[in-house]
Structure 1
Amino acid sequence: MKRTIRTTVFTVGALIAAFGLPAGTAHAGTTAPRVDLRVLVVGDGGPATDAIAAELDAAGTPYTEIDLTQAGRPVIDGGFLADTVDGRPRARYQAVVLPNDNPFPAGSTEMAALAAYEQTYAVPQVDAYTYARPEAGLQYPVHGGYSGSLDGVRASVTTAGRAGPFGYLDGSVPFEDNDPAVGESYAYLSTPVAGADFTSYVDAPVPGRATRGSLVGEYRHDGRRELVVTFVYNRYQPQFRLLARGIVEWMTGGVHLGASRNYFAVHVDDVFAADDRWNTALNCTPGDVDCTDPNAAPDPIRMTPADVDHAVSWQQEHGLTLDFAYNGAGSVDHREDHDGADPLADRLIAGRDAFRWINHTYTHAFLGCVQDTSVVPWKCATAADGTTRWVSRNEIADEITANRVWGEAAGLPLENEELVTGEHSGMKVLPQQPVDNPNLAPALDDNDITWLGSDNSREPEQRSVGPATTVPRYPMNVFYNAGRAAEQVDEYNWIYTSRAQGGSGICEDNPATTTCLAAPLEPATGYTGHIVPLETRIALGHVLSNDPRPHFIHQSNLAEDRIAYPVLSGVLDGYAALFADDTPVVNPRMSEIGTELGRRAAWRNALEAGQAAAYRIGDTVTVEAPAGLPVPATLPTGSTLNDAAFGAPYAGLVSGWTPSVGTPLTLTLPASVPAPAVPAPAVSAPVAGAPSAAVTGPAPDTRVPAGVTEQVVSSARD
């Protein structure tokens, strides 16, 4: 079908005058403008702009969002985009994100105002997902290009991309293909129009041809710069997660509020203790309160000294330190049952400095309500007057103190303010215990606990429990009661298949569960063929999402078949194959994670309240924020704060947090960073030789084709 595209062209002077951009003051042409460090995100309900907004949100980068589908939204005109402050021209936004290269109706004054604004202040524009067409610097796909799925394709960062905004990547950008029956990507592959000033940053092979087509590229025209993205994505997909950082750094020039890292921390619970084994005949775990067969004895799983040696060598090979959450009574009981011998504890204590250690309470006791296990599922026991019976303050405090004393006597390098209770007990657990044990907070105060591990599947946000702040932890679907792959597969099949297939029926009762199975996994291949890839993908998704929350497994998973390692290695090996050396995985301990989450929340609250902002004039960035508020920023290497080097290097830039002192913070950029453009004087008529801002007709509909998923949420089981 032939397309007719209507193009309207204005000169820059006429646009500036027509749309009220503040270039006509006495200082215009000589005074450096003020550019606010805020991004304008214009969305249309599609997943691409939503994904970019989510990336800005996670990093703490301020943005203003306009939804084109909402009635009563603000009108984008010159006054909305720019004004003057103290006689100085001010650009209110350092970058503009649009759903495509022009999402407005034909002849739109809003698109014309944006074009004039971008040209006047050298503000870049991201076309979040656009059709490949000459107006975006590309040939139509029918001219030797491609329109369709890229499921399973490995795109590549070009030489220009590596030298530019995507230099933190090693070069490969794999597109996911998790289900052959589901379309997970759609793209337009094309080459630049002859004569266009277009640089491709990410490309992929054109199916059936010996050519490559652009997926992400920069188009320079009419004094404007556009990042042209021609594939659709949502915020969870790995292809976007890999490129998200570069999209933000391109649009901001590497100068913005907010900071991000790729984090991975793994807590191993129940160290020194033993975990009861899944019973494949009973479909439950003898020893647990909900497995009541009197003829079934617990079958414990416990690490050996050889497992400790393997953990040490694995850490050294992968550059990651595991956090061991320990129960001292596990060793005491073992010695009592084995004439004082405990080779596992001896090996762990001898090699204690190879790991980080967290108090997991002495006996792993349940610290919430007193459990009534006479019924399945258990319920909270009640007193004669009907009130809930609670584990006492002294019992909770004794569990914490006894384990701390045991760990200190063993020489474990502890941070005593950290605690993970057994089963995250003491905190509310639905449906049986809808509130915290009222004795928990006082017991935490008795022991100076400030960081308390919680279950992210129950409570994903931090909250206070007395003097402590929670650190949500991701549960991995590598089960605590499985030391062998066959046990893991058997329990997985039980949980995630239908009753007709011999399963529990949980998925029938809870259809939103994302890990349901159409058929049972094969016992011999189900773990490596299905569970490992899925759990690896989920965990790596967290790593790539600037999410510091730790993951947790259990000591049983490091024993026997050592089933945790294929997942953990898959995450780290997969990461290493994708990222450059200057973008390593960050491996924080629990207190550092809690601190990071806490200051993010404080920063987010300050932004929402309008208490924090920043702007740039020339080579100076000024940040205004309340005293004591931690401020995150990302800047080019060589930037300084009060004549001292700012931040820490990561992904080719420097970034970090600095507390506000109540007066404006002044950061200085290196001389090599280009300054914002000085606005040209406004004129009422075209000037000979002046560049023009081409305001093209609206882009064709580029929404996701039917059958291609717009949202894929990956999460572990609650």
Structure 2
Amino acid sequence: MKRNTHRSRHLTGLAVGGVLLATGLPAAPAYSATPAPRIDLKVLVVSDGGPATEAITAELDGEGTPYTVVDLEQSGRPVIDAAFLADTVNGTPRAKYQAVVLPNDNPFPTGSAEMAALAVYEKSYAIPQVDAYTYARPQVGLQPAASSGYSGSADGFKAQVTAAGRSTGPFGYLNGSVPFEDNSPSVSESYAFLAQPAAGADFTSYVEAPIPGKAGNGTLVGEYRHDGRRELVVTFAYNQYQEQFKLLSRGIVDWMTQNVRLGASRNYFAVHVDDVFAGDDRWDPNLNCTPGDVDCPPGQGVEDSIRMTPDDVKNAVAWEKSRGFTLDLAYNGGGSVEYRENHDGADELADQLALNKGDFRWINHTYDHAFLGCEQNVSVVPWKCATNPDGSTKYVSQTEISKEISDNQQWAQGFGLPVESDELITGEHSGMKLLPQQPQDNPYLAPALAANKIDWLGADMSRDPEQRQVGSALTVARYPINIFYNAGHVSEQVDEYNWIYTSRAQGGSGLCDDLPNTTCLPAPLSTTTGYTGHIVPLETQVALGHVLGNDPRPHFIHQSNLAEDRIGYPVLDGVLDQYKTLYAASAPLVNLRMKDIGAELRNRGAWNTAVKAGQVTGYRIGDSVTVQAPAGVAVTATMLNGTNQVLGSGSSAFGQAYAGSVSGWVSPQTGQSSVSLALAPAPARALAPQSRPAPSAERATPQSAPRTPVPTGVSKPVPYSAERR
């Protein structure tokens, strides 16, 4: 069978006197105002353009949580005053924002009326405030870092969530460890102020690290309760891409919204294994290409196929059971048919997969893995599209595309595979646009998908990342793990890796010299230690970064990576092992099949579009939450445990449990114009009497916070580096 396979590479007049919630008790506030005020489910982000507030807005975007930004650097920005923060709706006092995020504890000039307005607003309506990145000082309940703690680089810190952070605080979904990245020995990637609570301050530390050169720990994240207000104080610099922020971002949002918000976040991991039943052509280390594939000139080398064995199937099943994880096998039925033709009707691999078919999920990968875009002219390297006599691009026909889809579906049904007929991954994601050769989709792809009732179409994240419509189908972008399809042995993987990622001067291809944003290896990797020492930790960290980013899109490898040296497992084990170390059982990895991932992406797209267009309204009055969205747009929300959806004739439980709350998608019942949710009653508790002195004159006149340093590796993120892991 002639096959063209691909490589996976990374080429918010005020009513005064509100009573605040107790630390860690996300209950309905007890207010002195009558009636109970309306709190809009939207966050106010006051930004100075720094990476910390940008990271928090990125997290809100990812969750689908509405927010308003006031940019302090922008001329003509709105003035933050009483009218900006609150008003009255139908006789009910309204707080326009459920939380306030500031770049530090006070980014305004000393004595600012805007900061005073925020302080009154927060106290009046029990609104939490996040200090995104601030200096450790008495104004935030901490001793000065300069005199009693530490200020400086936080690269490589081994921070820990405190007992309070895990129990009454917002980080109970973590096991405790919060490692800080250290990707480059020559670049400062983070900066922190470590200090202990000031004497008499009502301060609870949630995340700490040892103070270098001194005894005891200093706070990195903690809650300061003062003057009838609550602040979450963060004393380290970060950006949205760093692992330490990704680990803590959910808890920051949980804390500020008190686990009642629009939007949701989970950690997802799915792995597709392509080319099952077929074989993958092998890399030739002497020719530096793959005989039988389009990167080798015709006639060069000897074709050699990598194909799983029955023992590889048994190993995959045992691995799944030991990890509690299900793989998705993308199958090419023609591969088995061809194998039987060449082996007297025998195919032990197919027989074993038939016995274990219920242990996997299955996805149509086309019958022969044919290239379904333009017809390829492979007489040159790189290949180019064949043309018609008039010079137009010659495309694979609708009939051929449809046959590849339907033949594979029929073969699977005859073979007894438990398949979903509306899912498809074409060979090499072909048929869709592919630069530089094919800048548009094959025009025959869309009608072929419709004819075969395909709803979900796999796409390559590296070249087609956004979900889009192709005929009847919506795309599901997949992340390539940088383990090559044409490598069954470690030595082959390292050899090809060296060829791609070393400079011409070092004997490599020089692609890294030519492509922007690609760094050449300082030296070729050792064939003995390069895989486990560099490639595995790097690919593990890249994949884990996707997992920790509330990103449901799947990753993919190839069946060859489960054969021979089984080089795919170390990366998959690395992701699962690190995740288990970092996260508590309340936040399990969510392992979805492709169509469910597609539906999640579709729902998010519609929701985010409506949110950005100002078409979503959500608010809380006491223990009742009301959400209005455009017709046909499902609502995503995170709520307190025990929340119910109020229906016309009763109620039903809302959402699914995850990370200490419940979350999910919900729509109004027929006849309802909005979603109504009832929060479970929970005890509210006022702030305990404070043992520290009464507010000083300094506090009555808000003091602006000093500017905090932003290291190079935060302002411009440092890429992952396996050597520093």
Listed as ranges, the matches of 1:593-632 within 5 Å are 593-632=597-636
Separation (CA, whole Å) in 2 of partners of 1:709 and 1:229: 17
2:700 aligned with 1:697: no
Separation (CA, whole Å) in 2 of partners of 1:144 and 1:623: 48
Q: Residue in 1 aligned with 2:520?
A: 516
Q: Residue in 1 aligned with 2:368?
A: 363
2:656 aligned with 1:656: no
> In percent, how many aligned pairs have the same letter?
67
**Aligned AA (2:708):** T
Separation (CA, whole Å) in 2 of partners of 1:35 and 1:424: 47
Contact 1:483 1:557 in 2 (8 A): yes
Q: Residue in 1 aligned with 2:431?
A: 426
2:127 aligned with 1:145: no
Contact 2:310 2:352 in 1 (8 A): yes
Structure 1 residues 695, 283: closer, same or farther in 2, change over 3 A?
A: farther
**Aligned AA (2:43):** V
Deviation at 1:471, TM superposition (A): 0.2
**Aligned AA (1:278):** W
Separation (CA, whole Å) in 1 of partners of 2:330 and 2:686: 51
Contact 1:82 1:92 in 2 (8 A): yes
Separation (CA, whole Å) in 2 of partners of 1:218 and 1:28: 24
2:38 aligned with 1:34: yes
Contact 2:227 2:695 in 1 (8 A): no
Separation (CA, whole Å) in 2 of partners of 1:34 and 1:313: 54
Deviation at 1:674, TM superposition (A): 4.0
1:647 to 655, 669, 673: 655
SS in 2 for 1:622: strand
**Aligned AA (1:340):** G
SS in 2 for 1:696: coil
Separation (CA, whole Å) in 2 of partners of 1:253 and 1:651: 13
Structure 1 residues 214, 28: closer, same or farther in 2, change over 3 A?
A: closer
Q: Residue in 2 aligned with 1:540?
A: 544
Contact 1:119 1:693 in 2 (8 A): no
Separation (CA, whole Å) in 2 of partners of 1:713 and 1:125: 31
Listed as ranges, the matches of 1:482-501 within 5 Å are 482-501=487-506
SS in 2 for 1:638: coil
Deviation at 1:290, TM superposition (A): 2.4
Separation (CA, whole Å) in 2 of partners of 1:707 and 1:639: 42
Q: Residue in 1 aligned with 2:680?
A: 670
SS in 2 for 1:204: strand
Deviation at 1:148, TM superposition (A): 1.4
Instruction: Render the CA deviation track for 1:143-164: whole Å, top value 9, x for unaligned.
Output: 3311112222211110110012
Listed as ranges, the matches of 1:405-484 within 5 Å are 405-484=410-489
Instruction: Render the CA deviation track for 1:337-369: whole Å, top value 9, x for unaligned.
Output: 111111111101110000000000000000001
Deviation at 1:715, TM superposition (A): 12
Separation (CA, whole Å) in 2 of partners of 1:689 and 1:518: 58
Contact 1:32 1:676 in 2 (8 A): no
SS in 1 for 2:561: helix
Deviation at 1:269, TM superposition (A): 0.2
**Aligned AA (1:668):** A
Separation (CA, whole Å) in 2 of partners of 1:195 and 1:155: 25
Contact 1:483 1:562 in 2 (8 A): yes
Q: Residue in 2 aligned with 1:527?
A: 531
Separation (CA, whole Å) in 1 of partners of 2:320 and 2:105: 47
Separation (CA, whole Å) in 1 of partners of 2:587 and 2:224: 27
Structure 1 residues 613, 675: closer, same or farther in 2, change over 3 A?
A: farther
Separation (CA, whole Å) in 1 of partners of 2:438 and 2:700: 63
Instruction: Render the CA deviation track for 1:164-183: whole Å, top value 9, x for unaligned.
Output: 21000111111112222222
Q: Residue in 2 aligned with 1:685?
A: none
Separation (CA, whole Å) in 1 of partners of 2:471 and 2:199: 66
2:82 aligned with 1:78: yes
**Aligned AA (1:357):** W
**Aligned AA (2:653):** A
Q: Residue in 2 aligned with 1:21?
A: 14
SS in 2 for 1:614: strand
Deviation at 1:196, TM superposition (A): 0.2
Q: Residue in 2 aligned with 1:241?
A: 246
2:53 aligned with 1:49: yes
- Give unmatched runs, 5+ long, in structure 1: 1-19, 678-687
Structure 1 residues 708, 621: closer, same or farther in 2, change over 3 A?
A: closer
Separation (CA, whole Å) in 2 of partners of 1:200 and 1:449: 52
Separation (CA, whole Å) in 1 of partners of 2:662 and 2:701: 37
SS in 1 for 2:148: coil
Q: Residue in 2 aligned with 1:309?
A: 314
Deviation at 1:199, TM superposition (A): 0.2
Structure 1 residues 676, 264: closer, same or farther in 2, change over 3 A?
A: farther
Query: Which deviates further from its counterpart, 664-673 or 166-175?
Result: 664-673
**Aligned AA (2:423):** E
SS in 1 for 2:147: coil
**Aligned AA (1:120):** S
Structure 1 residues 336, 252: closer, same or farther in 2, change over 3 A?
A: same
**Aligned AA (1:330):** G
Structure 1 residues 449, 705: closer, same or farther in 2, change over 3 A?
A: closer
2:512 aligned with 1:507: yes
Aligned length: 684
Contact 1:23 1:89 in 2 (8 A): no
Structure 1 residues 23, 664: closer, same or farther in 2, change over 3 A?
A: farther
Deviation at 1:71, TM superposition (A): 1.4
2:76 aligned with 1:68: no
1:579 to 580, 583, 606: 583
Separation (CA, whole Å) in 2 of partners of 1:65 and 1:712: 27
**Aligned AA (1:512):** N
Structure 1 residues 715, 323: closer, same or farther in 2, change over 3 A?
A: farther
SS in 1 for 2:707: coil
Listed as ranges, the matches of 1:106-505 within 5 Å are 106-163=110-167, 164-292=169-297, 294-505=299-510
Using the size of structure 1 for normalisation, the TM-score is 0.93
Contact 2:666 2:675 in 1 (8 A): no
Separation (CA, whole Å) in 1 of partners of 2:720 and 2:479: 12
Deviation at 1:22, TM superposition (A): 5.3
- Give unmatched runs, 5+ long, in structure 2: 1-12, 18-30, 688-693
**Aligned AA (1:620):** S
Contact 1:612 1:626 in 2 (8 A): yes
Contact 1:146 1:207 in 2 (8 A): yes
Contact 2:53 2:101 in 1 (8 A): yes
Query: Which deviates further from its counterpart, 115-124 or 176-185?
Result: 176-185
Separation (CA, whole Å) in 1 of partners of 2:512 and 2:683: 55
Deviation at 1:494, TM superposition (A): 0.9
Separation (CA, whole Å) in 1 of partners of 2:640 and 2:719: 34
Separation (CA, whole Å) in 2 of partners of 1:77 and 1:539: 44
**Aligned AA (2:344):** D
Deviation at 1:69, TM superposition (A): 1.1
Separation (CA, whole Å) in 1 of partners of 2:686 and 2:302: 73
Structure 1 residues 564, 444: closer, same or farther in 2, change over 3 A?
A: same
SS in 2 for 1:458: coil
Deviation at 1:21, TM superposition (A): 2.7
Query: Which deviates further from its counterpart, 284-293 or 234-243?
Result: 284-293
Instruction: Render the CA deviation track for 1:668-698: whole Å, top value 9, x for unaligned.
Output: 1111064999xxxxxxxxxx99999745311
